[in-house]
Amino acid sequence: MTSKQRAYLKSLAMKTEPILQLGKGGVTPENTRSVDEALEARELIKISVLQNCLYDPKEMASVLAERTHSQVVQVIGKKIVLYREGKKEKKKIILP
């Protein structure tokens, strides 16, 4: 992913609300499955890490990205943005 594409995805992510929350349980198989389903439906998702979570959001983002075969767009504070390109016929986001 180029820096121009990453900047475009960041601009799209600014307008979206977090659709998932990760708490003190960290990254569980259930959370991973939810993230995978959300990426399938939307391609670009924002995740909120709750205050009571003991894990580092950057580490959680890299684990989720690895498990869901997606890319970390950005991690700012307690917000994670992930992107996974959709299938050719269901593509919603066209990268520059």
DSSP letters along 4-17, please? HHHHHHHHHHHTSP
> Is 53 contained in some domain?
yes
> Is 17 contained in some domain?
yes
Residue 77 sits in a domain whose CATH number is: 3.30.110.60
- Cα 57 to Cα 62: distance, rounded to the nearest angstrom: 9
> Is 90 contained in some domain?
no
> Is 91 contained in some domain?
no
> Is 92 contained in some domain?
no
- Cα 66 to Cα 35: distance, rounded to the nearest angstrom: 12
Q: Which domain holds residue 38?
A: 3-85
> Is 95 contained in some domain?
no
- What average pLDDT is seen over the chain? 91
What percent of the chain has pLDDT above 90? Answer: 77
What percent of the chain has pLDDT above 70? Answer: 98
Q: What's the total number of domains in the chain?
A: 1
- pLDDT mean over 67-93: 89
> Is 96 contained in some domain?
no
